[in-house]
Amino acid sequence: QTVLALETSCDETAVALVQFEGGKFRVIANCIASQADEHSKWGGVVPEIASRRHLELMPFLIKEALIEAKTGFESIDLIGATVAPGLTGALLIGSLTARSLAALHGIPFFGVHHLEGHLASVLLSDEVPTPPFLVLLVSGGHTELIRVNKNFDYQRLGRSHDDAAGEAFDKVARLLGLSYPGGPSIEKIAKGGDPRRFSFPKGRVSNPGGGYYPYDFSFSGLKTAVLRQVEKLKKSDIDLPLSDLAASFEQVVAEVLVERSLKCAEEQGIDSLVMVGGVAANHRLRELMMTSSKDISLKVYLASKSFCTDNAAMIGTAALLRLISGGSPSSMELGVCARLGLEEASRLYDDQPPF
């Protein structure tokens, strides 16, 4: 089975071809055009610009993907596209392109939940987990701990109450004068920095019933703490120690993500942990997760770095997984939805379109 997959939920226009053969997923084309440069001068993603660029780039990327895979529409069995969550105008470009192509070539259409795509990215690794497992999903818009009881059965156990981890990287990068997206810029400058020079707080969220939510996160206080430290340093008239600031920030984010995930896995009696999403590409976080998990014999599965940040290969893999699990395609009338929880992903395959 071969899928053509489109991803346009944010500022990456991506097209991929993925095959399922002999029990394995294989990426046969993976094309991504990042618009990051265009948005960086605004300090974040401008929705109107994103939609327009998706529209302009899409035909070229589809052509490029087919050439890369040395194939044509005659060998494509299904078309998948991200339909939720994300920027409405951006999602519409991918969804409409996919539905038009599906109608034209008489092949089924699968509307894919973006986070189900991030989860599926781990299926492209050499070692693949089987449910039940715990997922730490850390991206630009989400920081969640999700228990996957069986395929497509999701239970959220933790989340961020304010900024997502990736958002914290982006905001801290901005206040350090580093370029967007913040994750890669911080990672680069943090190399060689002293991660112990500054101690920043590990945000916790208190529970109105007393105590703390044990698996929830808060990153807005951390961002403010970095800002205060920068202001203090600026007064002292020395050059900002950017490497040390970045390394100390990165360290505390990695620690808090790892500590809470491990605690959750232990208390829930789960012995496998999956880490996906853009922030999961972070080297310090990957290292810390791998070493810390050994102490409690937790098996960790990481998405490979190239499939952590937004791409269409993960979207195709998610669509294929639905298909091979006996799922039926989405309705051609399925729209797009800016906000939709992962627990509701199955609604994308109902006969009655949810939106």
Annotated binding site for Fe cation: 114, 118, 310
User: Contact between 278 and ligand ATP (CB under 6 A)?
Assistant: yes
Q: Residue type at 239?
A: D
Least distance to ligand ATP, CB of residue 69, Å: 23
Identify which of residues 167 and 244 has a Cβ nearer to ligand ATP in the complex.
Answer: 167
Q: 220-235 vs 242-268: helix axis angle to the nearest 10?
A: 160
**Residue 281's binding partner out of ligand ATP, Fe ion, Mg ion, none, with CB under 5 to 8 Å set by partner kind:** ligand ATP
The structure tokens listed for 143 are 């920081």
Cα 264 to Cα 268: distance, rounded to the nearest angstrom: 6
> What sign does the dihedral 203-207-210-215 (CA atoms) show?
negative
Closest CA to 219 of 279, 178, 270, 157: 279
Identify which of residues 79 and 276 has a Cβ nearer to Fe ion in the complex.
Answer: 276
User: Which of 47, 108, 141, 221 forms a contact with ligand ATP (CB under 6 A)?
Assistant: 141
Q: What is the DSSP string of 151-212?
A: TTEEEEEEEBSSS-HHHHHHHHHHHTTPPSSHHHHHHHHHTTS-TTSS-------B-TTSSB
User: Which of 13, 139, 272, 311 forms a contact with Fe ion (CB under 5 A)?
Assistant: 139
User: Contact between 310 and Fe ion (CB under 5 A)?
Assistant: yes
- Which stretch, 66-74, 133-141, 179-187, 250-258, contacts Fe ion (CB under 5 A)? 133-141
Q: Describe the strand order of the beta sheet including 143-150 as a list of residue ranges.
A: 153-159, 143-150, 133-138, 272-276, 299-302
3 state SS of 5: strand
User: Which of 310, 314, 323, 336 forms a contact with ligand ATP (CB under 6 A)?
Assistant: 310
Identify which of residues 2 and 82 has a Cβ nearer to Fe ion in the complex.
Answer: 82
Question: Burial level of 232, CB count in 10 A (0-12/13-18/19+)?
Answer: exposed
Identify which of residues 102 and 134 has a Cβ nearer to ligand ATP in the complex.
Answer: 134
Q: Are strands 24-34 and 78-84 parallel, antiparallel or unpaired?
A: unpaired
Identify which of residues 11 and 163 has a Cβ nearer to Mg ion in the complex.
Answer: 11
What values do phi and psi take at 41, rounded to 5?
A: -70, -15
User: Which of 111, 158, 182, 193 forms a contact with ligand ATP (CB under 6 A)?
Assistant: 182
- Which stretch, 63-71, 135-143, 238-246, 294-302, contacts ligand ATP (CB under 6 A)? 135-143
Cα 5 to Cα 78: distance, rounded to the nearest angstrom: 9
Interface with Mg ion (CB under 5 A), residue total 3
> What sign does the dihedral 254-255-257-263 (CA atoms) show?
positive
* Residue numbers 12-41 binding Mg ion by CB under 5 A: 12
Least distance to ligand ATP, CB of residue 85, Å: 6
Identify which of residues 141 and 335 has a Cβ nearer to ligand ATP in the complex.
Answer: 141
Least distance to Fe ion, CB of residue 12, Å: 8
Cα 70 to Cα 30: distance, rounded to the nearest angstrom: 12
User: Contact between 279 and ligand ATP (CB under 6 A)?
Assistant: yes
User: Contact between 7 and Mg ion (CB under 5 A)?
Assistant: no
User: Contact between 321 and ligand ATP (CB under 6 A)?
Assistant: no
User: Contact between 252 and Mg ion (CB under 5 A)?
Assistant: no
* Residue numbers 150-169 binding ligand ATP by CB under 6 A: 166-167, 169
User: Which of 7, 11, 144, 216 forms a contact with Mg ion (CB under 5 A)?
Assistant: 11
User: Contact between 144 and Mg ion (CB under 5 A)?
Assistant: no
The structure tokens listed for 206 are 């208190």
Catalog residues that contact ligand ATP under the rule CB under 6 A: 10, 114, 118, 139-142, 166-167, 169-170, 181-184, 187, 277-279, 281-282, 309-310
